[in-house]
C-alpha cells in the first residue's frame, strides 16, 4: 500500500486526475479508496470503475455490486462507470433485458453516476453495434500501434470520436510487451532514431499523436515509470509525428510481425464466415502467442473470440473455402485455422472455457 500511495500521490501532484480500477482487480478499488480518502483527494480527482457484467444474471446483482464498489472506494458517487469487458452486442442486450438502462437513468438522476460508458474487447463490427445502441458518455478500448486494426481498432476510435464520444485507451503498451518483449530488429530501429525516445515513449506518443484519443491509461509500478509517463504526456501533442516518426513505428511493427505464424493483416475481407468463425481474431491471438507469449495469446483468444454468447471458435470451420477466395494475402485459411485452434485451445483450456461458458451464458432468467 505504501508504494502504491507514493506513486498515486506523485502522479496527482504532477497533474494526473483520472484513476481507473475495476471490481475484479484484486484489492485495487479498496486501495484507491483508502489512499484518496486518507489524503483528502476524492473530490479533486475522477474515479473510473467497472460493473462486472459477466457475473450478472439477475437484476438485483447490478445494485449489489455497485453498492459494494461505493463502499470499497469510500465514496457516494462514481465519476466514470463502465460496463466491463463487453465482447459482443448480445452482452449489452442481456443487460438491457435486466433493466440496466432504467438503473443507469436513476443513478445519473441521483448523481451516484456522473458518466456512463463501456470497455470493449470484441471485434470492430460488434463495437460499432454497441456504440450505436445507447447514448454513451465515453468508452474504453484496447488500442496501440500493433492493434491499430484489431478489436475496436482505428475504425472504432474514429467512429466514437465522430459521435462526440470521448475515447479512453487501455493496453497502450500491450501490458508492457511493446517495451519488454520487442525483437532485436525493433530495438535497433528505435535506437537509430535521433528522437531518443524509449520504447514506452514511442508507444505512448503514437497514441497522443491522434486527436481522437482523450485519455491514455498506463499501468505503472515504479517511480521511474510514473516520471517517464508524465513527462511523455506533458510533451506529446496531436499531429506532432513526422514522416520519419511513422517510418520508425512501421519498422518496429514489421519486426514484431516477422515473428508471426500467419500473415493476416486484419483486413476482414474473409468475413463474415458462414459458420460464425472470427477468422482475423483467431489469427491475431495465434500470432500473439509468438509475439507476446503463449499465455497472452490464449487469454486473448478466450477473452475476445470464444467467450462471446455466440462462440466464434476456429473449430466451427467446415472448410467451405469461401474465405480463401477473398483473402488478399493468399493465406491457406482452412489449414491455418486448424493449426491456430490446436495451439490456442489445448485440453486444459478447452475444459476451462467449457466451464466458464456454462456459467456465463446461463439462461437470462435463471
For the chain, the domain total comes to: 2
Q: What is the pLDDT of residues 77-108, one digit of tens each?
A: 999 999 998 988 999 999 999 999 999 999 99
Calculate helix-pair angle for 243-257, 184-192, nearest 10 degrees.
170
Predicted local confidence at residue 306, as pLDDT: 67
- Of all residues in the chain, what percent carry a pLDDT higher than 90? 68
Predicted local confidence at residue 328, as pLDDT: 61
Predicted local confidence at residue 93, as pLDDT: 97
Nearest-5° angle of CA 134, CA 139, CA 142? Answer: 135
Question: Distance of CA 112 to CAs 30, 72, 178, Å?
Answer: 18, 15, 37
Whether the Cβ atoms of residue 226 and residue 220 lie closer than 8 Å to each other? yes
Does 292 lie in the same domain as 221? no
Query: Of 251, 270, 303, which residue sits at a domain end?
Result: 251
Residue 266 included in any domain: no
Residue 121 included in any domain: yes
Predicted local confidence at residue 308, as pLDDT: 72
Residue 261 included in any domain: no
Q: What is the CATH number of the domain that holds 237?
A: 3.20.20.100
- Of all residues in the chain, what percent carry a pLDDT higher than 70? 97
Residue 264 included in any domain: no
Strand order in the sheet with 113-120: 18-20, 46-51, 78-86, 113-120, 138-142, 167-170, 213-216
Residue 258 included in any domain: no
Does 318 lie in the same domain as 215? no
Q: What is the pLDDT of residues 226-280, one digit of tens each?
A: 999 999 999 999 999 999 999 999 999 999 888 878 878 677 879 889 999 999 8
Q: What phi and psi values does residue 193 have, to the nearest 5 degrees? A: -75, 135
Q: Could you list the residue range(s) of the whole structural domain that residue 115 is in?
A: 2-251
Does 200 lie in the same domain as 336? no
Nearest to 66 by CA among 54, 79, 58, 78: 78
Q: What is the pLDDT of residues 40-52, one digit of tens each?
A: 999 999 999 999 9
How many C-beta atoms lie closer than 10 Å to residue 244's C-beta? Answer: 10
Does 290 lie in the same domain as 246? no
- Give me the sign of the Cα torsion angle 285, 291, 294, 299: negative
Does 41 lie in the same domain as 91? yes
Kindly state the average pLDDT of the residues 122-136: 94
Amino acid at each position: 500500500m505504501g508504494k502504491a500511495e507514493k506513486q498515486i500521490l506523485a502522479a496527482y501532484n504532477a497533474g494526473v486526475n483520472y484513476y481507473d480500477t475495476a471490481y475484479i482487480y484484486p484489492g485495487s478499488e479498496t486501495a484507491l479508496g483508502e489512499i484518496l480518502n486518507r489524503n483528502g483527494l476524492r473530490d479533486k480527482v475522477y474515479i473510473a470503475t467497472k460493473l462486472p457484467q459477466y457475473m450478472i444474471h439477475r437484476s438485483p446483482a447490478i445494485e449489489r455490486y455497485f453498492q459494494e464498489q461505493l463502499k470499497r472506494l469510500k465514496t457516494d458517487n462514481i465519476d466514470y462507470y463502465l460496463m466491463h469487458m463487453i465482447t459482443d452486442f448480445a452482452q449489452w442486450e442481456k443487460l438491457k433485458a435486466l433493466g440496466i438502462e432504467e438503473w443507469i437513468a436513476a443513478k445519473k438522476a441521483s448523481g451516484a453516476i456522473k458518466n456512463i460508458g463501456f470497455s470493449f474487447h470484441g471485434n470492430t463490427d460488434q463495437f460499432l453495434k454497441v456504440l450505436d445502441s445507447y447514448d454513451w458518455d465515453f468508452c474504453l478500448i484496447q488500442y496501440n500501434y500493433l492493434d491499430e486494426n484489431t478489436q475496436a481498432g482505428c475504425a472504432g476510435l474514429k467512429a466514437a470520436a465522430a459521435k462526440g464520444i470521448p475515447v479512453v485507451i487501455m493496453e497502450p503498451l500491450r501490458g508492457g510487451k511493446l517495451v519488454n518483449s520487442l525483437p532485436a530488429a525493433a530495438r535497433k530501429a528505435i535506437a537509430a532514431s535521433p528522437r531518443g525516445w524509449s520504447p514506452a515513449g514511442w508507444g505512448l506518443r503514437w497514441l497522443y499523436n491522434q486527436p481522437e484519443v482523450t485519455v491514455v491509461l498506463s499501468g505503472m509500478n515504479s517511480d521511474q515509470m510514473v516520471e517517464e509517463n508524465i513527462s511523455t504526456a506533458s510533451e506529446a501533442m496531436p499531429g506532432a509525428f513526422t514522416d520519419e516518426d511513422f517510418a520508425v513505428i512501421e519498422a518496429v511493427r514489421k519486426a514484431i510481425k516477422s515473428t508471426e505464424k500467419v500473415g493476416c493483416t486484419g483486413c476482414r475481407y474473409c468475413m463474415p464466415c458462414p459458420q460464425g468463425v472470427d477468422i482475423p481474431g483467431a489469427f491475431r491471438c495465434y500470432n500473439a502467442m509468438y509475439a507476446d507469449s503463449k499465455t497472452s495469446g490464449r487469454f486473448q483468444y478466450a477473452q475476445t473470440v470464444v467467450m462471446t454468447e455466440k462462440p466464434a471458435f476456429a473449430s466451427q470451420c467446415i472448410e467451405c473455402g469461401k474465405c480463401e477466395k477473398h483473402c488478399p494475402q493468399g493465406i491457406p485459411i482452412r489449414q491455418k485455422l486448424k493449426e491456430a485452434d490446436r495451439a490456442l485451445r489445448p485440453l486444459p483450456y478447452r475444459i476451462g472455457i467449457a466451464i466458464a461458458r456454462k456459467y456465463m451464458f446461463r439462461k437470462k432468467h435463471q
